[in-house]
Amino acid sequence: MKEKILSQHFGLKNFYQIDEYLKEGGYRAVQKSLQMKPDEILEEVKKANLRGRGGAGFPAGIKWGFVPKVDKPKYLCVNADEGEPGTFKDRYLMSHNPHLLLEGIIIASFCVGIHSAYIYIRGEYEAIALRLEGAIAEAQEKGFLGKNILKSGFDLDVIVHRGAGAYICGEETALLESLEGKRGNPRLKPPFPASVGLFNCPTVINNVETVSNIPLIILNGADWFVRKGLPKDGGTRIFGVSGMVEKPGIYELPIGTSLKDIIFKHAGGMKKGKKLKAVIPGGMSAPVLKADEIDIKMDFESLVEAGSMLGSAAIIVIDTGTSMLDVLKAVTKFYSHESCGQCTPCRIGTSWIDKIVRRMAEGKGSKKDIDNILRLASNILGKTLCPLGDAAAMPIMSITKKFRKELESRL
């Protein structure tokens, strides 16, 4: 498919190795960038309307622009924690195209004036972490990393830092705490990481897919990038489709592709004999859509209008044979397990709801349960330091409201 930009070389033999990558024009973006002024790079990235691919969708160029010009070390943290259930796109990007990510890291660092970058990768991705370390060593050997990169006078070291199994560390300030050698408890904002981040220094935190888009923007220009997607939301997205479809997997498509088409044209439709019941469109945190709500464009604004969110663009497809109580159970089990415990509404709320839902699943539910779930969830929503509380409350409330009748039938 001609729309592919990030994944166009997936499947090429040994593409993860630098020699193959160079054959396909690799590291041209770095060469071009090092001859540009940092401000020119920043302008181009801003113009491209590259929005964060991790979940929140914050424009990358604006984020970089927030970094103050102070005489302090600055850091880049690449968020490769990829813990949002349903999401697996960054795993593909890092394993098939690690040098594209490194190019993005070099360009972002050069633009912002950063000399140390950390890739924070979830601990389970050990094989990918090793691949990244291999790619870093190759890039160093060819003079793309380390001291005086391509004789430009610019220095950069990239370090792979492994997490150890905590969803919360994908939240940017928890990630910083974790990287500093602490428990992954999110920080109070402000100050925002751009001014006070890693080791109390200005820090840029971007998702793997976000950073991987940077070299393509530099090579092809912001206008080209915007044309690949939507005016306010440039480029493609790597949609991860899982659940009851014929062909689960990743699909790189223009931002704004219809959800219905992604499921029924690209992912092969429902598994044989299965009928669509509901879709979670942006990772588990996203409010659920019913089968008749999926004729919708997959971009940030369209999904917000539909009462959900694009998040990490991870699509989980649920069939009519699946009980929504089981779905709710998986959701509440996850968030009660992953709540860091710092904020009372989230710590108590998620485990309380989880207990109610488990009781309902055992056939011991009572009439008040549904309203109690909604009351507890609404007491989490907007009342926590970090977005995990909302991420838990939103799917719980949407499942409970949209499938209330079905849940009541299980009481």
Partner 1 sequence: MSPEFSEKTRKKIDEIVARYPQKQAAILPLLHIAQQEFGCISPDSEKRIADILGVKPIRVREVLTFYTMLNREPVGKYHIQVCSNLSCSLLGAEKLIDYLKEKLGIEPGQTTKDGKFTLSLVECLGACEQAPCIMVNFDYFGNLDKKKIDKILDGLK
Name the minimum Å distance from CB 375 to partner 1: 24
**Nearest distance in Å: CB 126, partner 1:** 4
Q: Does residue 250 interact with partner 1 by CB under 8 A?
A: yes
Cβ at position 91, least distance to partner 1 in Å: 6
Q: Is 243 in the site for partner 1 (CB under 8 A)?
A: yes
Of 235, 347, 288, 221, the C-alpha closest to 4 is 235
Q: How many CB atoms lie within 10 A of CB 90?
A: 28
**Most distant CA atoms of the chain, gap in Å:** 71
Residue with the two structure tokens 């970090």:
386
Residue closer to partner 1 (CB basis): 127 or 366: 127
User: Is residue 78 a contact point for partner 1 (CB under 8 A)?
Assistant: no
Considering beta carbons, is residue 34 or 294 the nearer one to partner 1? 294
Distance between CA atoms of residues 400 and 371, nearest Å: 9
Size of the site for partner 1 (CB under 8 A): 57
Is position 166 an interface residue for partner 1 (rule: CB under 8 A)?
yes
User: Nearest distance from residue 390's CB to partner 1, in Å?
Assistant: 18
- Give the separation between CA 282 and CA 86, rounded to whole angstroms: 8
Interaction between residue 85 and partner 1 (CB under 8 A): yes
Please state the closest distance from residue 221 (CB atom) to partner 1, in A: 33
Contact flag: residue 147 with partner 1 (CB under 8 A) = no
Candidate segments 43-51, 131-139, 180-188, 206-214, binder of partner 1 by CB under 8 A: 180-188
Of the candidates 222, 216, 215, which has an alpha carbon nearest to the alpha carbon of residue 48?
A: 222
* Cβ pair 380, 392 in contact under 8 A: yes
- Which residues 263-292 are close enough to bind partner 1 by CB under 8 A? 280, 284
How far from chain centre, in Å, is Cα 227?
22
* Minimum separation from the CB atom of position 143 to partner 1 (A): 20
Tokens representing residue 269 in the block: 């439709």
Instruction: Return phi, psi of residue 275, to 5°.
Output: -120, 145
User: Which residues in 86-125 contact partner 1 (CB under 8 A)?
Assistant: 86-88, 91, 116, 122-125
Site string for partner 1, 288-327 (x = CB under 8 A): --------------------------x-x-xx--x---xx
Coil, strand or helix at 382 = coil
Residue 316 CB, nearest distance to partner 1 (Å)?
Answer: 6
- The nearer residue to partner 1, 230 or 244, going by C-beta atoms, is 244
Report which DSSP code applies to 156.
Answer: B
The closest of 353, 365, 351, 352 to 406, measured between CA atoms, is 365
235, HSE (Cβ side, Cα atoms, 13 Å) = 33
Q: Interface with partner 1 includes 406 (CB under 8 A)?
A: no
For residue 285, the SS3 value is: coil
Contact present, 347 and 339 (Cβ < 8 Å):
yes
Q: Is 195 in the site for partner 1 (CB under 8 A)?
A: no
CA dihedral 215, 132, 113, 7 (to 10 degrees): 20
Binder among 40, 126, 223, 371 for partner 1 (CB under 8 A): 126
- Residue 29 or 205 with smaller CB distance to partner 1: 205
Exposure class string for 308-318: b at 16+ Cβ within 10 A, else e? bbbbbbbbbbb
Residues that bind partner 1 (CB under 8 A): 73, 82-88, 91, 116, 122-127, 157, 159, 161-167, 178-184, 199, 240-244, 248-250, 280, 284, 314, 316, 318-319, 322, 326-327, 330-331, 333-334, 337-338, 340
